[in-house]
Amino acid sequence: MSDLSPIDKAKFVAAKQAAEYVEDGMGVGLGTGSTAAWLVKCLGEKVAEGLKIRGVPTSSRTAELAREVGIDVISLDEAKWLDVTIDGADEFDGNLNLIKGGGGALLQEKIVATASDQMIVIADASKQVETLGAFPLPIEVIPFGWQTTKTLVEETLVGLDVLGRSTSLRMNGEAPYYTDEGNHILDLHLNRIGNARQLSLVLNQIPGVVENGLFIDICDVVVIGHGDGRVELRDINAGTVTEARHEFIETDNLFTEIGD
């Protein structure tokens, strides 16, 4: 662990702590992104020790990683409903509202998260903000007429409580980025979102918009990791904030728990 950066250590301890929420026999939504990848690896260790779970990935790359570490991967249609989804976030505020989609998987992530009894977000402390919007808000749009959709989005933003209104098509090198569902992503550079709930509702009314990256009233717990091994757990339903700490040691387990 000594060769990990503080930010990677923060992501790792958050993922390791969140893995404790997963119990034998659960159906688990597996998020997408660098922090969620740590979670998949942590769950893979527990599966190797005998934990039996069924994982529903939110992207093709998460599915590949889950299979690599020995997690039984099924589709959401097979699972129908999940006990918990654990995922990362690009931003979260004090009410545990999120911006997600930096990794391009927001549509599947939102579907899986809302098909779960509980959503747990794992993040490092840098993802916490007073007001959402510094991170560009992704929206998934169908390729047909995407430029018209982009124009409609920009016109709609004029009447909303946002600080910036520029939009850009996400690219993959010289070509447009395609999601797992074959759609494009528009990134909205808003700087500050005054009313996230209103913005989410309005964006989804625009023809061509499939879904947006605002996760409102979906997240139940945020697990915040720090580079020194501290972990903060915020439960929005219980109204509690608790702390734990993990000590990094050079063993196969990478760290030991030293109490709450």
Q: Residues marked as binding for substrate?
A: 32-35, 87-90, 100-103, 127
Binding residue numbers: 32-35, 87-90, 100-103, 127
Are 124 and 7 in contact, with CB atoms under 8 Å apart? yes
Residue 31 one-letter amino acid: G
Cβ-proximal residues to 151 (8 Å cutoff; 6+ apart), any chain: none
Strands 166-169, 184-189: parallel, antiparallel or unpaired by DSSP? antiparallel
The DSSP line for 113-166 is: HHTBS-EEEEEEGGGB-SSTTSSPEEEEE-STTHHHHHHHHHHHHTTSSBS--E
Say whether 232 is catalytic: no
By DSSP bridging, strand 84-87 and strand 119-124 are parallel
Tokens of 235: 């439960």
Catalytic-labelled residue, pool 23, 64, 91, 109: 109
The CA distance from 61 to 58, in Å, is 9
**Residues that are catalytic:** 109
